[in-house]
Amino acid sequence: MSAINPYAPPQADLEAALEGQHWRDGKILILRPGSALPHRCIKCNAPAELPIKKRKIYWHHPAWYILIFIAILLYAVIALAVRKKAEIQPGLCATHSKRRKIGLSLIWGGLLLGVGLMFAGAVDDSGALAGLGGLVLLIGLIWGSILARLLTPNRIDKDFIRLRGAGKAFLDSLPAFPGR
């Protein structure tokens, strides 16, 4: 009798299936649109926690930022029209997932506490309390954004997605980009 079970699920080597789909170019992570990242943390290369969420990222050429000085509404409309979109699934280990959650909590906590303090300062006619609220809001948004950041798009075109923010250990595990 044969050792092959026709009812068994297929066995696939995920690393081999992903080969040729993602590279590094210095500090830039390059992948093909529609390709999946390996199930490793994008910051430290440890095994990623499952499930890994899909995230949409958007990019437009930085020259469009000049329109902010002319009219911010004009910039917003044009940026929405010319932006390019991609879906990625960046994995995070338990440590970096916790760090991201802390960052998101800082953003929301700073927003709520800062606006509450500014409102209380306006009601009590206290400029110091309103100023403290603005400071809490600003610090919470900036520090939280730094902790919660995953990957930021460097460029998106029809052939490749280029991302910043991956850790050195993760990038070192990828082959060099052959397109240079």
Q: Tens of pLDDT along 42-81?
A: 999 999 888 888 999 999 999 999 999 999 999 999 999 9
Do 32 and 121 fall within a single domain?
no
pLDDT (0 to 100) of residue 13: 43
Asked whether residue 16 is assigned to any structural domain, the reply reads no
| Domain membership of residue 84 as a residue range | 23-92+150-172
pLDDT mean over 145-152: 90
Q: Is the pLDDT of residue 35 over 90?
A: no
Q: Is the pLDDT of residue 1 over 60?
A: no
Using alpha carbons, select from 12, 31, 33 the residue that is nearest to residue 22. Answer: 31
pLDDT mean over 165-174: 91
Q: Tens of pLDDT along 102-140?
A: 999 999 999 999 999 999 988 888 888 889 999 999 999
pLDDT mean over 73-101: 93
Q: Is the pLDDT of residue 149 over 70?
A: yes
Using alpha carbons, select from 149, 166, 146, 44 the residue that is nearest to residue 94. Answer: 44
Do 36 and 113 fall within a single domain?
no
Q: Tens of pLDDT along 18-30?
A: 456 889 999 999 9
pLDDT (0 to 100) of residue 19: 58
Asked whether residue 177 is assigned to any structural domain, the reply reads no
Within 10 A of 102 (CB to CB), how many other CB atoms are there?
14
Asked whether residue 118 is assigned to any structural domain, the reply reads yes
Task: Pull the structure tokens for residue 68.
Answer: 């902010």
Do 50 and 107 fall within a single domain?
no
pLDDT (0 to 100) of residue 14: 47
Do 69 and 122 fall within a single domain?
no
Asked whether residue 44 is assigned to any structural domain, the reply reads yes
Asked whether residue 3 is assigned to any structural domain, the reply reads no
Asked whether residue 38 is assigned to any structural domain, the reply reads yes
Residue type, 142: I
Within 10 A of 176 (CB to CB), how many other CB atoms are there?
12
Rounded CA separation 142/130 (Å): 18
What global pTM score does this model have?
A: 0.74
Asked whether residue 2 is assigned to any structural domain, the reply reads no
Sign of CA dihedral 15, 35, 163, 138: negative
pLDDT mean over 152-158: 92
Q: Is the pLDDT of residue 9 over 90?
A: no
Rg (CA), the chain: 22
pLDDT (0 to 100) of residue 122: 87
Total domains in the chain come to 2
Do 81 and 106 fall within a single domain?
no
Specify the pairing of strand 28-31 against strand 55-59. unpaired
Rounded CA separation 45/93 (Å): 8
Residue type, 120: A
Do 52 and 39 fall within a single domain?
yes
Do 39 and 122 fall within a single domain?
no
Asked whether residue 7 is assigned to any structural domain, the reply reads no
Do 40 and 85 fall within a single domain?
yes
Do 159 and 87 fall within a single domain?
yes
